[in-house]
Amino acid sequence: MKILVVGGAGYIGSVTVEQLLAAGHQVVVYDNLLKGHRESVPEAATFVEGDMGDAAALDKLFGQHTFDAVMHFAALSLVGESVTQPDKYFKNNVSNGLVLLDAMGRAGIKKFVFSSTAAVYGEPTEWPIHEDFPHNPTNPYGESKLAFEKVLKWYENAYGLRYATLRYFNAAGATGCCGEDHDPETHLIPLILQVAQGKRDAISMFGDDYPTPDGTCVRDYIHVVDLADAHVRALSILGERSGTFNLGNGTGFSVKQVVEAARKVTGHPIPAKVAPRRAGDPAVLVASSARIREQLGWEPKYPDVETIIADAWRWHQAHPQGYHASAHV
């Protein structure tokens, strides 16, 4: 198939591009490089710099290529920033997403894979989380993703769009080529690894008084390679139907457990200190991935948190300044 990957120069997009190419698909990456890295796009993919909200640029692109499907990774995803700047999140994640969908409509493209998030569930009180649990986002980021999920449902109804919505839990890990390089970095595992690299003195653990076994928040960390694999599989259902799937391992690890695992992997003592809770953090987010296992035959290959951290560590050691001054090999 020929696939357009919007946001394909970002963390999860770039790993998916690697896998699409390995599976024999043709890939065009479309990315505005505000968050993405040109160096993360493999030579075998065609790269086009552009913005998801630019209808004329998308029409031109769709005039030059005949795509079988579009994957959309081009969302803004910082929860804290979404609370202080909701306008930015609704504009990019909803309005600009509509520009993409409508350009697809004009070009007659009916297959779409969408990156959604566990943030659509808000603060669930039961685990593991199934797809049909209540959707109560507690921040504009989650709300913007949920709004776009609803758009997809109505576009299917009216225009025959087929979509696969993938609700990610906590993406982590790396491949040999592609890893996590955010600015600013806010995620737990890369921040812990910055301590091991000597870039920061200690990791702050946000809250140790949550109702969890050790008091720190519990998350479901999923290897980015397993995430990407789900996107490639999702393409197979789009001929017939749409679907919404959680993407997690189904096992939770606390912040303290992740720090301990990183100490083992890196051999660094990784000093940790308790800091106040971060606003909006749910105590526990653990996925039921039963639906995607049953319906797409998806099975995580790297469920072990130490493997996930080890792969991230290898990438950060090979790219101590992130993508700066490195080229894709």
22: which residues sit within 8 A by CB, 6+ positions away?
none
Burial class of 120 by CB neighbour count within 10 A (0 to 12, 13 to 18, 19+):
buried
Binders of ligand UFG among residues 12 to 71 (CB under 6 A) are none
- Candidates 7-15, 55-63, 116-124, 240-248: pick the segment binding ligand UFG (CB under 6 A): 116-124
At closest approach, how far in Å is the CB of 141 from ligand UFG?
6
Tell me how far CA of residue 306 lies from CA of 4, 191, 292, 309, in angstroms: 33, 16, 24, 5
Which of 30, 89, 141, 168 is catalytic? The answer is: 141
Report the alpha-carbon angle 154-128-132, nearest 5.
20
Confirm or reject binding of residue 206 to ligand UFG (CB under 6 A).
yes
Beta-sheet pairing, 203-206 with 46-49: unpaired
Minimum distance from residue 188 beta carbon to ligand UFG (Å):
4
**221 flagged as catalytic:** no
Region near ligand UFG per CB under 6 A, out of 104-112, 186-194, 240-248, 313-321: 186-194
Q: Which residue in the block uniquely carries the two structure tokens 């808000």?
A: 122
Question: Which x/- pattern, by CB under 6 A, does the window 264-283 give for ligand UFG?
Answer: --------------x--x--
Q: Is 187 in the site for ligand UFG (CB under 6 A)?
A: yes
Instruction: Map residues 285-314 to x or -, x wherever contact with ligand UFG holds by CB under 6 A.
Output: x-----------------------------
Cβ atoms < 10 Å from Cβ of 132: 8
Assess 214 for contact with ligand UFG (CB under 6 A): no
Q: Under the criterion CB under 6 A, does residue 182 sit at the interface with ligand UFG?
A: no
Among the listed ranges 41-49, 105-113, 114-122, 229-237, the one in contact with ligand UFG (CB under 6 A) is 114-122
Residue whose Cβ sits closest to ligand UFG: 217
- Verify binding: residue 116, ligand UFG, rule CB under 6 A: no
Part in contact with ligand UFG (CB under 6 A); list of ranges 56-64, 102-110, 174-182, 198-206: 198-206
Entry field: residues in the chain: 329
Is residue 255 at the binding interface for ligand UFG, with CB under 6 A as the rule?
A: yes
**From 188, 262, 287, 305, residue interacting with ligand UFG (rule: CB under 6 A):** 188
Residues 6+ apart with CB under 8 A from 292: 230, 245, 246, 247, 298
Q: In the complex with ligand UFG, which residue's Cβ is closer, 59 or 185?
A: 185
Which range in 40-48, 88-96, 148-156, 182-190 contacts ligand UFG by CB under 6 A? Answer: 182-190
Least distance from ligand UFG to the Cβ atom of residue 117, Å: 5
Catalytic positions, written as ranges: 141
Which parts of this chain interact with ligand UFG (CB under 6 A)? 77, 79, 117-119, 141, 170, 186-188, 191, 203-206, 217, 219, 255, 278, 281, 285
